[in-house]
């Protein structure tokens, strides 16, 4: 990694509109390849406007192609999503603790993604597929508000067509054209028929969703130290110096964003933490 | 379709897991296997409730208003419990979204048996309550609209 304080300029190579408010950018990192682990994030700098932490959503085997999926929700992300191929973003990173994909080798692995949470989990899923022989069952359970809000729908279809993976998608609401399950994503976890003794769960989505995913996993007998969540906070320095992302005794940028439920589960019961 | 076939299907269904043999025998006497065609309406709100379905395969949509499905019920799950709690009227619509293989329980007859055998009634009600509690929790989460973009 370069100097963690200095953004490296990278040119947007492609832009894909995922949903009405979410865009995936591929940045040209060929001059400074970004070797990241699934679950890590970078700081993206829109010159003149500010910086924001965004999880990498690309393939960890392709460090020259840095991919991010960004929802236009704030003062920095909104103008970033308006950029076009040829425009330049500053990039710092990668930062943070990754998903425990190495520790999960030999286990069944369930990824539970809700909404934009599919983006930080996508590198982990691509890692599982690229190293399929190292894992038992691999399941991807995806929840979205509506079918139109699903990220990477074409890829979901392709992954679902494989014979060595299990991919399930549910939405909270849909019109009559939707033929899949309707209901919350935790329902998919209930139906998955998991062996708690050999299963690891990694989940990313709204905090209330992750809380209920963890609760369902615990109910099925999966130990808390085999449940991982990815947290989002206001990250600024990204290296555990400034304290903006402090969460309990942790800095999310340095000690997370991926945490074991055994470490952080109790915090989910405390309002305002 | 023999009673043995129905009994075996019941024994294999998660709703019946751990039920005493005698209870399975009783249920088998008031159950039958069904294949429901895609698009078939199982019941509509306001109609008399007199059955439950244990879904073995396929997907049923539950709708509260017109055709908007609020939840799907799938393999291994219970559809319909109104008659068990003394409400003889459906409060939602249910339609097969795919071809559905199910075990249909005769609510009229089973309600009689439950009155005569409180232990059976308790056991079925306990299982139905578990299903209803799960539905309630999921409905709360759905009502929370967790994927709505906040602060946008």
Mean pLDDT of B67-83: 90
Q: What is the CATH number of the domain that holds A213?
A: 3.40.50.80
Q: What is the mean pLDDT of chain A?
A: 93
Residue B67 has pLDDT above 80, yes or no: no
Q: Are A30 and A10 in contact (CB under 8 A)?
A: no
pLDDT per residue as tens digits for the range B90-130: 989 999 999 999 999 999 999 999 999 999 999 999 999 99
Q: Are A113 and A210 in contact (CB under 8 A)?
A: no
- Do both A116 and A247 map to the same domain? yes
Confirm or reject contact between A9 and chain B (CB < 8 A). no
- Do both A196 and A83 map to the same domain? no
Please judge whether A71 and B144 are an interchain contact, meaning their C-beta atoms are less than 8 angstroms apart: no
Total domain count for chain A? 2
Round to whole Å and give the CA distance between B144 and A269: 17
Residue B142 has pLDDT above 70, yes or no: yes
Q: What is the model's pLDDT at position A1?
A: 57
Residue B152 has pLDDT above 50, yes or no: no
Q: Give per-residue burial for B92-109: e unless 16+ CB within 10 Å, then b.
A: bbbbbbbebbbbbbbbee
Q: What is the CATH number of the domain that holds A67?
A: 2.40.30.10
Residue that terminates a domain, selected from A51, A72, A95: A95
Residue A239 C-alpha from the chain's centroid: 19
Q: What is the model's pLDDT at position A53?
A: 95
What whole-number percentage of chain A has pLDDT above 90?
82
User: Searching chain A, which residue's CA lies closest to the CA of residue B77?
Assistant: A191
Nearest-CA distance from B98 to chain A in Å?
8
Asked if the structure places residue A115 within a domain, the reply is yes
Q: Give per-residue burial for A130-141: e unless 16+ CB within 10 Å, then b.
A: eeeebbebbbbb
Asked if the structure places residue A103 within a domain, the reply is no
Mean pLDDT of A198-220: 96
Q: What is the model's pLDDT at position A170?
A: 96
Q: Are A137 and A163 in contact (CB under 8 A)?
A: no
User: Searching chain A, which residue's CA lies closest to the CA of residue B97?
Assistant: A179
Q: How many residues does chain A have?
A: 273
Q: Are A112 and A205 in contact (CB under 8 A)?
A: yes
- Do both A14 and A131 map to the same domain? no
Phi-psi region of A227 (alpha: psi -120 to 50; beta: other; left: phi over 0): beta
- Do both A215 and A254 map to the same domain? yes
Name the pTM for this structure: 0.91
Nearest-CA distance from B38 to chain A in Å?
11
Confirm or reject contact between A172 and chain B (CB < 8 A). yes
Comparing A68 with B68, which gets the higher pLDDT?
A68
Q: How many residues does chain B have?
A: 152
- Do both A224 and A176 map to the same domain? yes
- Do both A18 and A139 map to the same domain? no
Asked if the structure places residue A164 within a domain, the reply is yes
Asked if the structure places residue A3 within a domain, the reply is no
Domain that holds residue A34: 8-95
Q: What is the model's pLDDT at position B82?
A: 86
Round to whole Å and give the CA distance between A105 and A22: 32
Asked if the structure places residue A100 within a domain, the reply is no
- Do both A171 and A49 map to the same domain? no
Q: Which domains does chain B have, with CATH numbers?
A: 3-138 (2.60.120.10)
Round to whole Å and give the CA distance between A207 and B139: 17
- Give me the sign of the Cα torsion angle A170, A174, A176, A177: negative
- Do both A152 and A90 map to the same domain? no
Side-chain-side CA neighbours of residue B19 (13 Å): 27
The encoded tokens of residue A269 equal 């019961």
The encoded tokens of residue A148 equal 């139109």
Q: Which of B97, B141, B149 sits opposite A21 (nearest CB)?
A: B149
- Do both A47 and A145 map to the same domain? no
User: Searching chain A, which residue's CA lies closest to the CA of residue B96?
Assistant: A179
Please judge whether A145 and B147 are an interchain contact, meaning their C-beta atoms are less than 8 angstroms apart: yes
- Do both A198 and A247 map to the same domain? yes
Interface test with B, best of A184, A185, A216, A233 (most B CBs within 10 A): A184
Number of H helices, E strands in chain A: 7, 14
- Do both A66 and A145 map to the same domain? no
Does the interface ipTM go beyond 0.90?
no
Please judge whether B70 and A208 are an interchain contact, meaning their C-beta atoms are less than 8 angstroms apart: no
pLDDT per residue as tens digits for the range B1-46: 788 899 999 999 999 999 999 999 999 999 999 999 999 999 999 9
- Do both A49 and A91 map to the same domain? yes
Asked if the structure places residue A2 within a domain, the reply is no
Residue that terminates a domain, selected from A95, A117, A139: A95
What whole-number percentage of chain A has pLDDT above 70?
99
Round to whole Å and give the CA distance between B75 and B57: 5
DSSP state of A74: S
Asked if the structure places residue A230 within a domain, the reply is yes
Residue that terminates a domain, selected from A68, A95, A122: A95
Asked if the structure places residue A205 within a domain, the reply is yes
């Amino acid at each position: 990694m370069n100097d963690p304080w200095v953004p490296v300029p990278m040119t947007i190579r492609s832009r894909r509109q995922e949903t009405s408010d979410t865009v995936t950018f591929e940045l040209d990192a060929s001059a400074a390849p970004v070797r990241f682990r699934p679950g890590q994030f970078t700081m993206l700098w829109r010159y003149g406007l500010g910086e924001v932490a965004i999880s990498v959503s690309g393939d960890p085997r392709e460090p020259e192609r840095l991919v991010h999926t960004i929802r236009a929700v704030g003062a920095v992300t909104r103008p970033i999503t308006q950029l076009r191929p040829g425009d330049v973003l500053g990039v710092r990173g990668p930062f943070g603790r990754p998903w425990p994909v190495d520790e999960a080798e030999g286990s069944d692995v369930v990824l539970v993604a809700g909404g934009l949470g599919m983006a930080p989990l996508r590198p982990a899923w691509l890692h599982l597929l690229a190293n399929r022989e190292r894992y038992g069952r691999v399941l991807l359970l995806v929840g979205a508000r509506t079918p139109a809000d699903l990220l990477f729908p074409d890829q979901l279809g392709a992954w679902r067509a494989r014979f060595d993976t299990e991919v399930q998608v549910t939405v909270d609401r849909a019109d009559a054209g939707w033929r899949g399950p309707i209901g919350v994503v935790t329902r998919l976890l209930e139906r998955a028929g998991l062996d708690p003794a050999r299963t690891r769960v990694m989940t990313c989505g709204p905090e209330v969703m992750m809380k209920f995913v963890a609760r369902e996993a615990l109910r099925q007998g999966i130990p808390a130290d085999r449940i991982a969540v990815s947290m989002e906070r206001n990250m600024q320095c990204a290296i555990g110096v400034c304290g903006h992302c402090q969460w309990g005794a942790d800095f999310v940028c340095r000690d997370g964003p991926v945490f074991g439920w055994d470490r952080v589960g109790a915090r989910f019961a405390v309002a305002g933490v | 379709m023999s009673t043995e076939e129905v009994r075996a299907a019941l024994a294999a269904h998660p709703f019946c897991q751990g039920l005493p043999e005698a209870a399975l025998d009783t249920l088998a006497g008031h159950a039958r296997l069904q294949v429901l065609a895609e698009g078939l309406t199982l019941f509509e709100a306001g109609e008399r409730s007199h059955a439950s379905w244990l879904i073995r395969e396929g997907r049923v949509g539950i709708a509260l208003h017109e055709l908007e499905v609020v939840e799907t019920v799938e393999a291994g799950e219970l559809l319909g419990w109104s008659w068990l709690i003394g409400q003889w009227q459906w409060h939602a619509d249910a339609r097969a979204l795919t071809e559905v293989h199910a075990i249909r329980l005769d609510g009229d007859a089973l309600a009689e048996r439950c009155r005569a055998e409180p232990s059976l009634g308790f056991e079925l009600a306990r299982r139905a309550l578990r299903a209803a509690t799960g539905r309630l929790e999921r409905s709360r989460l759905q009502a929370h609209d967790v994927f709505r973009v906040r602060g946008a």
